[in-house]
Amino acid sequence: MTDDCKLCLSATGLTKIFGLGRQKCVAVDHVDFSFNEGEIISIVGESGSGKTTLAKMLLGLISVTEGTVYYKGKKRDISTQKKKQEYWKNIQAIFQDPFSSYNIFNKIDSVLLDCIYMRGGRRLSHAKKVELMTEACSFVNLKFEELTNKYPFELSGGQMQRLMIARIFLLKPRILLADEPTSMIDACSRATILEMLMKLRNETGMTLIFITHDIGLAYYVSDSVYIMERGKIVETGCADDVILHPRQAYTRRLINDVPKIHEVWDLSTV
């Protein structure tokens, strides 16, 4: 029974097919998984392996062709807009491209205020709202006084991505889906972003789903790893098992493709 309670997000036979007839393209092909609460999961695969499509289905942004998604053991119901918004209180995402994640007409204040409203803080006093926003910004090492009255495009890529984490800090979802959160920013800010995500997870105990093509990152952050090839999950297991003792040729290839510093990087196998 206790095991059932810990189950957070799961799916059976999840499939997404784009197009019809001869143009049919199976992006995600009968994927099964179950994520436990508080776990850090990585979904790894090369471009075009269906990682982002899977993420969008989990978020309810695109329809599911076949299969079911379960949230906390119960079938997910997002048939109406109201139910969808209810669901989004529990699951939130950080996307790859920080530059296109924001509405360019909205100021940063309103980005953060929206999050407070979503948590039912519409009736709070102005001072309390500012206090919440300041707290969220200081969590990600940004200064709210400097950000107020600015537009998102006035920030750098790393700062935008940090602001995205500040949003998550205010929303406190049960599941955070991070779709390549560090691929567009440099290695130095990457360390900062990862550090903040880990801190946030430790504070709130949420489930963190990382989607990445960099198996090094997956190894560094996650408890369990799912390897995805052409829409299918080909290998799963805990990070140490999968990455240090890969069983599938595809996993081995992904590991070989990452430059290393202690071992020789074999360039002949491309």
* Interface contacts to other proteins, rule CB under 8 A: 46-47, 141, 156-158, 184-192, 194-195, 213-220, 239-240, 243-244, 253-263, 265, 267, 270
Calpha distance 203→42 (Å, rounded)? 20
Q: Which of 52, 64, 55 is nearest to 17 (CA)?
A: 64
Shortest distance in whole angstroms from residue 243 CB to other proteins = 5
Shortest distance in whole angstroms from residue 157 CB to other proteins = 7
Comparing CB distances to other proteins, the nearer of 12 and 183 is 183
Q: Which residue's structure tokens are 């379960």?
A: 70
Shortest distance in whole angstroms from residue 86 CB to other proteins = 35
Cα dist from 239 to 72, 164, 208, whole Å: 24, 27, 14
**Helix (H), strand (E) at residue 136:** helix 126-139
Shortest distance in whole angstroms from residue 38 CB to other proteins = 17
Comparing CB distances to other proteins, the nearer of 192 and 236 is 192
Calpha distance 155→222 (Å, rounded)? 29
CA angle centred on 230, ends 243 and 224, rounded to 5°:
30
Beta pairing, strands 207-212 & 175-179: parallel
DSSP category for residue 148: T
By three-state DSSP, how is residue 261 classified? coil
Comparing CB distances to other proteins, the nearer of 82 and 262 is 262
Comparing CB distances to other proteins, the nearer of 104 and 267 is 267
**Helix (H), strand (E) at residue 61:** none
Comparing CB distances to other proteins, the nearer of 29 and 214 is 214
Comparing CB distances to other proteins, the nearer of 122 and 247 is 247
Calpha distance 69→75 (Å, rounded)? 6
Shortest distance in whole angstroms from residue 101 CB to other proteins = 17
Shortest distance in whole angstroms from residue 64 CB to other proteins = 25
Calpha distance 255→1 (Å, rounded)? 38
